[in-house]
Structures are given as C-alpha cells and as structure tokens.
Amino acid sequence: MEIRSEKYTYRIEWSEEDGCHIARCLEFPSLSAHGDTMEKALTEIRFVVGETIKWLHEDGEAVPEPFWLKKESDRPISEPGGNFVYA
C-alpha cells in the first residue's frame, strides 16, 4: 500500500516567537514547516513529508505507518497542554 502525505497526523500551532504558524507531523517528529497561515503551514509540511517518504523509498528505508493504521494501544493520546503520549 502506498502511503501518501495526507494520511498522516498533523498539528499546527502559532509561534509568537517566530511570528508564523508551525506545522508538525506526529509520525515524523523531526520534521516541521511554517507558513503565514495555517493552510500554508499545512501545505508546506505535507510537501516535506511527501518528499521524505519518497527519499525513504528510494533508500530502501521503512516509512512510518500513519497512526490511524496502528492498533489503538499504539496510538498517541493528547494530554492537557497539547503534549502527546502513548497509552
């Protein structure tokens, strides 16, 4: 099954320090992107994730599964304050 970037879990938040929206993909915690709007930040992070998936495939590396494909006990849950933990 081909996994596409829109199948992943994203979080977008405003950064007062950076003066823009910061988007992250929960399945790829080292990746982030920014934009003047939430929509632009989401577009940018989806592009970054898509390129990363392509590079992983080219290098024969494993591509992380989207959280929704995992069994419920392996999915992260949100704590108060927006932190994610695994149950």
Q: Which domains does the chain have, with CATH numbers?
A: 5-86 (3.30.160)
Checking if the pLDDT of 26 tops 80, the result is yes
CA atoms within 13 Å, Cβ hemisphere of 35: 17
**Separation of alpha carbons 54 and 51, rounded Å:** 5
* Average per-residue pLDDT for the chain: 86
Q: Say which amino acid occupies 45.
A: I
Chain segment 41-67, per-residue pLDDT in tens:
999 999 999 999 999 999 999 999 998
Confidence of residue 82 (pLDDT cuts 50, 70, 90): low
Checking if the pLDDT of 87 tops 50, the result is no
Contact at 8 Å (CB) between 62 and 47? Answer: no
Residue with the bigger pLDDT between 13 and 78: it is: 13
Dihedral angle, C-alpha 59, 46, 5, 76, nearest 10 °: 100
